[in-house]
Structure 1
Amino acid sequence: MRVVIAEDNTLLREGLTLLLTTSGHEVVATASTGPQILPALLEHRPEIAVLDVRMPPSHRDEGLRAALEARTHLPALPVLMLSQYVEQSYAAELLGGGASGVGYLLKDRIGRVEEFLDALRRVAAGGIALDPEVVGQLLTRPAHSPLDALTPREREVLTLMAEGHDNITIAKTLVLTERSVSKHIGNIFAKLGLTPTDSGHRRVQAVLAYLGHQ
């Protein structure tokens, strides 16, 4: 896979480059500041971009802004965002509008190499990869939210869906049959007023679009 990395921490940037190259991927460009990101993405048109949310010069949301702008020029560009902390508003903005091929991970997750590489592959394939802590905050809603209608089990299923897992994985994780998982998913969509679909990615996108606009 051809990858562009944007990370201002030199040690982490070089570490990511080494990890990806030794895993068989090609890092075609790196960026250390926000203004460098978009030109690199437009020039190299990678198969996925791995971007830090906060980049110089202001260390606020340059990485996120670059990702959103890049996707206006390259709508199908998969983007995996990295952050030191859960920043709920940033995650919701990235996931808004039924976005596909997006991920949002805490930097601590990089140390879990297989989990990180799995998330990278999932996002590159057009799926969703969210850090469990991000999902937890996205699922925390004010009173009278439609999410209040979900049972505890349905919330568990929704959380795993939002993390990007398929029905088989959800069934194994929760020790359920696939038929039970499908039933729970049907109930979730009915309660949230979302139309069910057979596509795992479209199901997750619909849920995340709903959550991202709350």
Structure 2
Amino acid sequence: MRVVLAEDSVLLREGLTRLLEEEGHVVVAAVDHADAVVPAVLEHRPDVAVVDVRMPPTLTDDGLRAACRARELVPGTAVLVLSQYVEESYARDLLADGRGGVGYLLKDRVQDLAALADALERVRAGGTVLDPEVVAQLLVRRRPDDPLDRLTPREREVLALMAEGLSNAAVAERLVLSAGAVEKHVGNVFAKLGLRAAEGQHRRVLAVLAWLGAGVRRPG
């Protein structure tokens, strides 16, 4: 696939470029400043933009905001953001349009080439990918009136794996359940979170947003 890479660390940028190209991908642009992300996406129309969250000019969340802006200007652009930190707001901002094609990995995860390649394929296909460590930490951050209180422990397990980007078949394999059992649990998650069948595949994104405790504009 064609990739725009945004990372201000020279070593990591060159390392990621090498890894991606060894896997047969084409890095059409590699930039080191958040202000260069949108122009690069507009020019190259990549399959995926891989973007560091914390980039110049402020080294806060400039990369994330640039990635979200790129998705607004070039609808359908898949985005995989990288961060050293677990921040609920990062995942929530990425998923806010309810349309998928986004992922959030911790930088340690990119050392696992298989995990990186899998994440890229999933976001390009319109899925969502949250780092397992992100999922694990967010699961313990419960809130009053948490919508997940409606779910059984097994249904919460299924939803957490959905947040990681796993398909129903992969969830079944991970939890050693039948495909039918997983389908039933997923259906229960959608029903208990009030997500209608008419919302199609976007329901998986909306379910993850409910898990994050975020309000979301429903796809029209």
Instruction: Answer whether TM exceeds 0.5 for this pair.
Output: yes
Q: CA deviation at 1:9?
A: 0.7
Q: Secondary structure at the match of 1:142?
A: coil
Matched, 1:40 2:13: no
Show the counterpart of 1:144.
145
Cα distance 1:165–1:189, how it changes in 2: closer, same or farther (>3 A)? same
* TM-score relative to the length of structure 1: 0.94
Q: What pairs up with 1:21-100 in 2 under 5 angstroms?
A: 21-100=21-100
Cα–Cα, structure 1 residues 198 and 64, in superposed 2: closer, same or farther, change >3 Å? closer
Taking only the aligned residue pairs, the percentage that are identical comes to 56
Paired position in structure 1 for 2:206: 206
Partners in 1 of 2:190 and 2:138 — Cα distance? Answer: 17
Displacement of 1:44 after TM fit? 1.0
| C-alpha distance in structure 2 between counterparts of 1:46 and 1:17, whole Å | 14
Q: What is the alpha-carbon distance in structure 2 between the residues aligned to residue 117 and residue 3 of structure 1? A: 12
* Alignment partners' CA distance in 2, 1:89 and 1:21: 31
Q: CA deviation at 1:144?
A: 2.2
Give the TM-score, by structure 2 length: 0.91
Secondary structure of the equivalent of 1:99?
Answer: coil
Q: Please report how far the alpha carbon of residue 197 of structure 1 lies from its aligned counterpart in structure 2 after TM superposition.
A: 6.5
Match of 1:111 in 2: 111
Helix, strand or coil: the match of 1:122? helix
Match of 1:76, SS state, is coil
Spell out, residue by residue over 1:78-125, the C-alpha distance to the aligned partner (whole angstroms, 9 max, x if none): 000000111111211111131310000000100111011100111111
Q: Which residue of 2 aligns with 1:181?
A: 182
User: Aligned partners of 1:108 and 1:196: how far apart in 2?
Assistant: 37
CA contact (8 A) 2:162 2:208 kept: no
Kindly provide the amino acid, as one letter, of the partner of residue 163 in structure 1.
E
Bigger mean CA offset, 188-197 vs 177-186: 188-197
Q: Which amino acid aligns with 2:167?
A: D
Whole-angstrom CA distance in 1 between matches of 2:45 and 2:36 = 14
Q: Is residue 110–residue 116 contact of structure 1 (8 Å, CA) maintained in 2?
A: yes
Native 8 Å contact 2:100 2:126 kept in 1: yes
The answer to whether the 8 A contact 1:7-1:13 is kept is yes
Question: What letter corresponds to residue 54 of structure 1 in structure 2?
Answer: R
Mind listing any 5+ residue stretches in structure 2 that lack a counterpart? Answer: 216-220
Change in CA separation of 1:196 and 1:137 when aligned onto 2, cut-off 3 Å: farther
Q: How does 1:8-19 map to 2 (within 5 A)?
A: 8-19=8-19
- Alpha-carbon distance in 2 for matches of 1:198, 1:43: 32
Aligned to 1:193: 194
Paired residue secondary structure (2:51): strand
The two structures, once aligned, show a CA RMSD in angstroms of 1.6
**Which string of whole-angstrom CA distances, capped at 9 and with x for unpartnered residues, describes residues 153-174 of structure 1?**
1111001111111111111110
